[in-house]
Chain A
């Protein structure tokens, strides 16, 4: 996405809350918080090309870090965002260990999936902190004494965070780092032969991805106001995977589009419980069949302004 377009989008979003009822606002907030979730996932799966399915682990780690710090330490929410990013990033670095040992493809997918499930088990068992399977209530967030007690107020805080995360990740992907990620995906041995310390870059991609997703988790914590382990299960993983598949692998724009579609599409079927999973499934199948590079590739075809430097539509 071109720079000018990128800054225009959040500006255009500023007045939108005036047009929405509280429920629609909640849905929009959810779409916003899934943007960093998609970006982090896409960094590892799309750009680096490693099938790591531990994204929900970083999401949960960020959410619980934020929630627990607010409850146990009485900290204001905004002070928990950076710790949530740190813990998510550490989770990412841990999840990269099998990849560093040379584990790839299905084996990596299964091992990282197990990491996510292990984290979910931890939330259930560590009742003193997390409230176990009953969950924990997250207090109202404040931003410098200003209560983020409505979805409309949270919207502006979320928007600012998402813009920041997208801008930084965009910078990263346009630099030699982003190029190195794609080189590792295309040919890891040749990348090393060109002087790229591949192990360090794999850890970096996982850790940065985990940190970004962790921030999404902190947003999730105050958005839903109640954390339960069931929010971080395999269904959630499929939802997050749908974001990057539908939006487009290795594309920042794709993560944004995917987050919006995957959040909004199930609303159409809100009166038919259980249908949302069907919608994800169908969406993934349709996009893989007709748009294997995701909806972002469609956008890139519409106008060159949407073409990302290291993304081929």
Chain B
């Protein structure tokens, strides 16, 4: 059973910067980032993605002009193993493409998204977009999923669904989750461990009950007790 770790803190605390450092979108000035025993600081985003740390984005992380299905196919990019010259002269690439498409459809339908597979991602509702983005990130079955404010802008029902999806991923698929989230009820209900950041520093690192009890932390850094 993998861990769900939430990263909370006031705006400007450095949550997204930390996230971007892990996913390779910014280069850390110093220190070390280790993933499954390997130093990943300084690697490019696509190298980190290939090692199995996959992320979603705060808003608009999809490819709006591509369909939901094509978005997931991009998520499978590295697994559709057609090389450039093999592609031009070989037959194998068509088979690889067909099996990837089948897999992408499967992934969408396990999340109940089969009916929107052919729709442009840009035309989907906020909740659907968030789910497609999670499916896309999970397409390669990564050991770690980084979710950047997945609940923002979601209706209560969609938020509920998201909560159970996150819980399921960790419990049944054994996918470790690092979550940035402002929706404190969601954090408290799914996280095994909560890290509170303020001004670029870690000020708490404890199970949710303990962080909840730490009134000083909540008052000082979240503004509500």
How many residues in B have their beta carbons less than 8 Å from beta carbons of A? 35
Q: Which residues of B contact A (CB under 8 A)?
A: 23, 25, 44-46, 49-50, 54-55, 57, 60-66, 70, 73-75, 77-78, 80, 82, 84, 87-88, 93, 97, 100, 120, 136-137, 140
Residues 301-312 of A, flagged 1 when their CB comes within 8 A of B and 0 if not, give 000000000101
**Residue from A174, A180, A182, A193 whose CB has the most chain B CB atoms within 10 Å:** A193
Interface of A, helix, strand, loop or mixed by DSSP: helix
Closest to B88 in A: A168
Q: Is the CB of A194 within 8 A of B77?
A: yes
Q: Is the CB of A196 within 8 A of B70?
A: no
Q: Is the CB of A194 within 8 A of B75?
A: yes
Q: Is the CB of A186 within 8 A of B55?
A: no
Total contacts A to B, CB within 8 angstroms?
A: 95
A140 within 8 A of B: no
Q: Is the CB of A176 within 8 A of B62?
A: no
Q: Is the CB of A177 within 8 A of B87?
A: yes
Residues of B within 8 A of A189 (CB): 25, 45, 57
Q: A176-B77, A193-B49, A195-B46 are in contact. Are A310 and B70 (CB under 8 A)?
A: yes
Q: Is the CB of A197 within 8 A of B46?
A: yes
Closest CB pairs A-B (n = 4): A186-B63, A192-B45, A195-B49, A195-B78
A198 within 8 A of B: yes
Residues of A within 8 A of B65 (CB): 182, 185-186, 312
Q: Is the CB of A177 within 8 A of B46?
A: no
A190 within 8 A of B: yes
Residues 147-184 of A, flagged 1 when their CB comes within 8 A of B and 0 if not, give 00000000000000000000010011011110110110
Interface of B, helix, strand, loop or mixed by DSSP: helix
A285 within 8 A of B: no
Q: Which residues of A contact B (CB under 8 A)?
A: 168, 171-172, 174-177, 179-180, 182-183, 185-187, 189-198, 204, 310, 312
Closest to A311 in B: B65
For the complex, what is the distance from the CA of A195 to the CA of B63, rounded to whole Å? Answer: 14
Residues of B within 8 A of A175 (CB): 80, 82, 87, 93, 97
For the complex, what is the distance from the CA of A190 to the CA of B121, rounded to whole Å? Answer: 14
Residues of A within 8 A of B55 (CB): 193
For the complex, what is the distance from the CA of A186 to the CA of B122, rounded to whole Å? Answer: 10
Minimum C-beta distance from B130 to chain A (A): 14
B74 partner, pick from A168, A196, A204, beta carbons under 8 A? A196
Minimum C-beta distance from B74 to chain A (A): 5
For the complex, what is the distance from the CA of A189 to the CA of B63, rounded to whole Å? Answer: 10
Residues of A within 8 A of B45 (CB): 189, 192-193
Minimum C-beta distance from B180 to chain A (A): 15
Q: Is the CB of B74 within 8 A of A171?
A: no
Residues of B within 8 A of A187 (CB): 60-64
Q: A192-B45, A195-B77 are in contact. Are A183 and B87 (CB under 8 A)?
A: no
24 contacts between A and B (CB under 8 A): A172-B88, A175-B87, A175-B93, A175-B97, A176-B73, A176-B97, A177-B87, A179-B73, A180-B74, A183-B77, A186-B64, A186-B65, A189-B25, A189-B57, A193-B54, A193-B57, A193-B137, A194-B75, A195-B78, A196-B46, A197-B44, A310-B66, A310-B70, A312-B120
Q: Is the CB of A194 within 8 A of B136?
A: yes
Residues of A within 8 A of B77 (CB): 176, 179-180, 183, 194-196
Q: A175-B87, A177-B87, A183-B63 are in contact. Are A193 and B23 (CB under 8 A)?
A: yes
For the complex, what is the distance from the CA of A196 to the CA of B73, rounded to whole Å? Answer: 12
**Residue from A175, A182, A195 whose CB has the most chain B CB atoms within 10 Å:** A195
Residues of A within 8 A of B140 (CB): 195
**Residue from A168, A174, A189, A198 whose CB has the most chain B CB atoms within 10 Å:** A189
